[in-house]
């Protein structure tokens, strides 16, 4: 049991994003390797829903920033969500980079191209707008997105 951590099938391979060549070179490969190894030797317990705590208690440490806009981010299959300050990002690219790092996956959004043969390594990023509809991220200008977004969801392809 174990997930391959070499570059050929890992989430590091750079050739499936139009813009990502800089993004992936900044990725921390040692972190990915270490996590990949630890997951591969971990016992086959359900990693989700453990340890037994309510989601709200484990908040992320973040910088003091008087102007913040936190939204919840859930990844499909993982019941404990994360929180992300959208105002700490300047653009969609910035946001995507943070999310890919946070959730260790490749993100599909309005401006991403993907390798259709390996769709299982991708997740689609959507957001819930003020009307309660789920929309793909990236279609409207960033500022408009900020005024409409209520929460984010990362779903399997």
Partner 1 sequence: MQKEMAYSFPDEVLKHVFSFIQSDKDRNAVSLVCKSWYEIERWCRRKVFIGNCYAVSPRMVIRRFPEVRSIELKGKPHFADFNLVPDGWGGYVLQWIAEMAGAYPWLGEIRLKRMVVTDESLELIAKSFKNFKVLVLFSCEGFSTDGLAAIAASCKNLRELDLRESEVDDLSGHWLAQFPETCTSLVSLNISCLGSDEVSFSALERLVDRCPNLRSLQLNRAVTLDKIANILRRAPQLVDFGTGNYAAELQPDVFSNLAGAFSSCKELKSLSGFWDVVPAYLPALYSICPRLTSLNLSYATIQSPDLIKLVSHCPRLQRLLVLDYVEDSGLEELASSCKDLQELRVFPSDPFGVEPNVSLTEQGLVAVSLGCPKLQSVLYFCRRMSNAALVTIAQNCPNLTRFRLCIIEPKTPDYLTLDPLDAGFGAIVEHCKDLRRLSLSGLLTDHVFEYIGTYGKKLEMLSVAFAGDSDLGLHHVLSGCESLRKLEIRDCPFGDKALLANAAKLETMRSLWMSSCAVSFGACKLLGQKMPKLNVEVIDETEPPDSRPESYPVDKLYIYRSVAGPRFDMPPFVWSMDEAVKILH
Q: Which of 6, 15, 26, 64 binds partner 1 (CB under 8 A)?
A: 64
Burial class (CB in 10 A: 0-12, 13-18, 19+), 133: exposed
Nearer to partner 1, 74 or 93 (CB): 74
Residue 33 binding partner 1, by CB under 8 A: no
Q: Which of 6, 46, 116, 143 binds partner 1 (CB under 8 A)?
A: 46
- Taking the CB of residue 53, how many other CB atoms lie within 10 A of it? 9
Residue 58 binding partner 1, by CB under 8 A: yes
Partners of 71 in the β-ladder: 84
Query: What is the C-alpha radius of gyration for the chain, rounded to an integer number of angstroms?
Result: 16
Residue 1 binding partner 1, by CB under 8 A: no
Q: Which of 1, 26, 30, 48 binds partner 1 (CB under 8 A)?
A: 48
For residue 4, give Cα distances in angstroms to 12, 32, 123, 135.
12, 11, 19, 33
State the nearest-atom distance from the C-beta of 116 to partner 1, in Å. Answer: 28
- Taking the CB of residue 27, how many other CB atoms lie within 10 A of it? 17
Residue 93 has phi, psi (to 5 degrees) of -60, -40
Q: Which of 1, 6, 79, 91 binds partner 1 (CB under 8 A)?
A: 79
State the nearest-atom distance from the C-beta of 53 to partner 1, in Å. Answer: 6
Binding interface with partner 1 (CB under 8 A): 34-35, 38, 43, 45-46, 48-59, 61-62, 64, 66, 68-71, 79-80
């Amino acid at each position: 049991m174990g997930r391959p951590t070499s570059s050929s099938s890992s989430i590091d391979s750079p050739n499936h994003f139009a813009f990502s060549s800089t993004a992936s070179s900044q990725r921390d490969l040692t972190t990915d390797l270490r996590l990949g190894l630890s997951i591969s030797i971990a016992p086959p317990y359900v990693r989700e829903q453990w340890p037994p705590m309510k989601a709200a208690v484990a908040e992320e440490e973040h910088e003091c920033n008087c102007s913040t806009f936190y939204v919840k981010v859930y990844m499909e299959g993982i019941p404990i969500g994360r929180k992300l300050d959208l105002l700490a990002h300047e653009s969609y690219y910035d946001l995507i980079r943070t999310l890919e790092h946070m959730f260790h996956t490749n993100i599909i959004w309005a401006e991403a191209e993907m390798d259709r043969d390996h769709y299982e390594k991708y997740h689609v990023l959507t957001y819930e707008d003020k009307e309660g509809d789920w929309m793909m991220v990236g279609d409207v200008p960033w500022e408009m997105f900020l005024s409409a977004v209520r929460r984010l969801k990362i779903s399997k392809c």
